[in-house]
Amino acid sequence: MSTAPATLGRAPASAARRPTARSLRRRRTLHWIAVHSIAIALAIMFVAPLVFIALTALMTDQQALTSQLWPRSWNWGNFTEVFARSPLLLWIGNTMLYAGLGTAFMLLSSVPVAYALARFRFPGRRAAFLAVITMMMLPPQVVAVPVYLIWARAELTGTLWPLVLPMLLGDAFSIFLLRQFLLTIPREYTEAARVDGCSDLATLLRIVLPMARPAIAAVALFQFFYCWNDYYGPLLYASTNVDNWTLSIGLASFKALHSVQWNLTMAATLLVMAPVIIVFFLAQRVFIEGVTLTGVKG
């Protein structure tokens, strides 16, 4: 009488120890979390305040004063209440005027200067570049009094023109960043354009600008964000005229008037932050490319 093998109907030991698909996915997930743990922690640190602002903006004014973090009811009317209690559209228009004209004037004046410092050989070139670096290290508060007196004598205080018109003289940081990027463009391109009969202006417009698009986008975003968030400049020149207030001054005034109603204050803060966040995410790829491709040559 034959007996069946002892291993009949029993899975091999190697097959029992073989990981399943679910365990493999779990291991890969844990490995990914371990590798990116620092990035995840930093992301939570940056996102948590935004989530808190958004949740508080949807609460009632009574709940906003409590320790509860989740809204009992979603009050979307807080955002329309902000428009009803403040001239937010006027502040947005003034801020867009300041940021738009400031960015356009900066590009119009800084790009040619950066191109000249990167490509032309002329006496005093190093001294001019040293002056640009020196202007980067000079705080605006140092020259605030004499500059304010100049604009006061021109009777332009109370407006945004003292903030916009100086951009026609260039921005030191933008000139430096653009100059460093233009140094990375091979000279063969511009020399070939000159051989073909292009003038310096045509070479700049047809050859250099298309190749420097990432750097131009980066400095434009830097300038736009600076103007959008600027509080010192509008407070110094435009605070005496309510019709020329920007979002930074208006938000500070709104917070002072509604210091107890934190839901409305957070709703106004979220409305002020939303355009900047949207613009950054739409132009994130070009912005990062422009910053990373900017070398330190020269």
pLDDT at 108: 93
Sign of the CA dihedral 11, 14, 16, 20?
negative
pLDDT, mean of residues 277-284: 80
Q: Which two tokens stand for residue 59?
A: 């609460």
- How far, in Å, CA of 155 to CA of 288, rounded? 41
pLDDT digits (tens, 9 = 90+) for 113-166: 999 998 888 888 889 888 888 888 888 888 889 999 999 999 999 899 999 999
pLDDT at 19: 64
- How far, in Å, CA of 189 to CA of 203, rounded? 9
pLDDT digits (tens, 9 = 90+) for 193-246: 888 888 888 888 888 888 888 889 889 988 999 999 999 999 999 988 999 999
The 3-state DSSP class for residue 63 equals helix
Torsion (CA) 59, 65, 66, 71 in degrees, nearest 10: 0
Torsion (CA) 225, 231, 235, 236 in degrees, nearest 10: -80
State in Å, rounded, how far the first CA of the chain is from the last one. Answer: 93
- How far, in Å, CA of 208 to CA of 203, rounded? 6
Place of tokens 């990432």: 214
Place of tokens 């002329």: 122
Residue 14: pLDDT band with limits 50, 70, 90: low
> Do the Cβ atoms of 229 and 223 come closer than 8 Å?
no
Place of tokens 């399943």: 20
DSSP class of residue 204? Answer: I
Least Cα distance to 247 among 267, 228, 263 occurs for 228
- How far, in Å, CA of 67 to CA of 137, rounded? 44
Give the rounded percent of residues in the chain with a pLDDT score beyond 70: 89
pLDDT digits (tens, 9 = 90+) for 69-105: 888 888 888 899 999 888 999 999 999 999 999 999 9
- How far, in Å, CA of 84 to CA of 77, rounded? 10
More confident of the two residues 2 and 253? 253
Other C-beta atoms lying within 10 Å of the C-beta of residue 5? 8
